[in-house]
Amino acid sequence: MYIGKCLCGEIEIKITGAISDIIHCHCSLCRKNSGTAFATNGFINVTDFEITLGKGNLSQFSFKPGRNRHFCTRCGSPVYSSNTQDPSRYRIRLGILDSDIIERPISHNFVSSKANWEALDAKLPRYDSFEPNRK
């Protein structure tokens, strides 16, 4: 089980299942949304996810049809993302978790969009788009 909360603590979450397909995403959307060189994202099953506190403080932004970013209205922390083309899973930013995670990143993605000051020093596979076998 994993627990986490947003920066201000108004929203708390619980994940009872595994986190899959963890990647470091260097696309411009993830960089803008996180304000960092890349965002570390993983997928969870919707049925394994619960907002245990502060559901009323959750807002969303649709940046593309069917793709929604859900965030805290007070501090702006990303809580999860949903996609109508993949309704059984949510994507989370691992930075929201307070628990240590067992799973590890599998790759750096969208490296052709990376910030010019990012050195990519990790020894992970690197792809110009999604990792192979991504559904």
Judged against a pLDDT cut of 80, whether residue 121 lies above it is answered with no
Cβ neighbours around 12 below 10 Å, total? 18
Which of 93, 16, 4, 7 is closest to 49 using CA atoms?
16
Full residue range of the structural domain in which residue 25 is found? 2-113
Could you tell me if residue 6 is inside a domain? yes
pLDDT band at 111 (very low <50, low <70, confident <90, very high): very high
Q: Which residues, including other chains, have CB under 8 Å from residue 4's CB and lie 6 or more apart?
A: 12, 13, 15, 96, 97, 98, 99
Q: What is the DSSP string of 24-61?
A: EE-SHHHHHHHTSS-EEEEEEEGGGEEEEE-GGGEEEE
Q: Other C-beta atoms within 10 Å of 110: how many? A: 21
Residue found under tokens 């992970």: 124
- Of the chain, the percentage scoring pLDDT greater than 90 comes to 81
* Domain presence at residue 121: no
Mean pLDDT of 103-108: 96
pLDDT, tens digit, for every residue of 15-64? 999 999 999 999 998 999 889 999 999 999 999 999 999 999 999 999 88
Q: pTM for this one?
A: 0.87
Q: How many domains does the chain have?
A: 1
Question: Does residue 84 have a pLDDT over 70?
Answer: yes
Band the pLDDT of 104: cuts 50, 70, 90: very high
Average pLDDT across the chain, whole number:
94
Q: What are the E-state strand segments in the chain?
A: 2-5, 12-15, 20-25, 39-45, 49-53, 58-64, 67-72, 78-83, 89-93, 107-109
Residue 37 lies in a domain: yes
At residue 66, the 3 state secondary structure works out as: coil
CATH of the domain at 7: 2.170.150.70
Has residue 13 been placed in a domain?
yes
Task: Quick: pLDDT tens for 38-50.
Answer: 999 999 999 999 9
Structural domain includes residue 119: no
pLDDT band at 135 (very low <50, low <70, confident <90, very high): low
> Is residue 130 in some structural domain?
no
Q: Flag whether 118 is in a domain.
A: no
Residue 135 lies in a domain: no
Rounded Cα distance, 42 and 96, in Å: 11
